[in-house]
Copies of this chain bind each other. A is one copy, B any other.
Amino acid sequence: MIELYLAEDQSMLNSALTQLLELEDDLHVVGSAGDGQTAWTEIQQLQPQVAILDIEMPGLSGLDVADQIQAAKLPTKVIILTTFAQKAYFERAVAAQVAGYLLKDSPSDDLIAAIRQVMAGATIYAPELVVNMLSADKNPLTERELAVLKAAAQGLPTKVIAAQLYLSAGTVRNYLSAIFSKLGVHNRLEAVQVAQRNKWLAS
């Protein structure tokens, strides 16, 4: 019997998946959550064998939870389940040594198969991602976002950035927030690192 934990904030999908997984004789969902914080707390307590994590969740993202699991050296294997084939996400997932990375638009049977394979020690990535990896890692930021990030990369505080681009401070923070979310990070420094590594800040 494989013990599963499910973290997914889209409750429709959450409940549907739970039921579906329970139909399998060898799978059992021991818990589920709609946000990263609860997920992380419960995973520590329940120590499931596999945790299926969405990335986009309120509070801690699935990637954050994966980081935690790795840092705490829990035996729990992680399968990331997300809508987006963003390279930045995938990179972070690989860095967190997740056991699997699936897209929500693959059939649910794939997930079930993946769970069993992961338990058998395999590491599985959705084929779409591999394609995405090979293709140039196009920068997902809009022009304005890039401008903001460039300014932030100088170490300028929000107010100054806003003045420089003739925006309100709030807007700048919104842009930064959007950038972080696109790059799967949580602060300016990390965002700048990612952008620099991908040479998006040239000029």
Contacts and interface: CB of A to CB of B under 8 A. Distances in A.
A155 B92 CA distance: 13
Interface of A: 152-155, 157, 185-193
13 contacts: A152-B189, A153-B189, A154-B189, A154-B190, A154-B193, A155-B185, A155-B187, A155-B190, A155-B191, A157-B187, A188-B189, A189-B189, A189-B192
A92 to B, nearest CB: 12
Nearest to A196: B196
A166 to B, nearest CB: 15
A189 B151 CA distance: 11
A187 B187 CA distance: 13
Contacts of A189: 152-155, 188-189, 192
Nearest to A67: B160
Nearest to A185: B155
A45 B152 CA distance: 30
A202 to B, nearest CB: 16
A11 to B, nearest CB: 30
Contacts of A152: 189
* Highest count of chain B CB atoms <10 Å: which of A152, A155, A186: A155
* Highest count of chain B CB atoms <10 Å: which of A153, A189, A192: A189
A1 B155 CA distance: 40
Given A153-B189, A154-B190, 10 more contacts: A152-B189, A154-B189, A154-B193, A155-B185, A155-B187, A155-B189, A155-B190, A155-B193, A189-B189, A189-B192
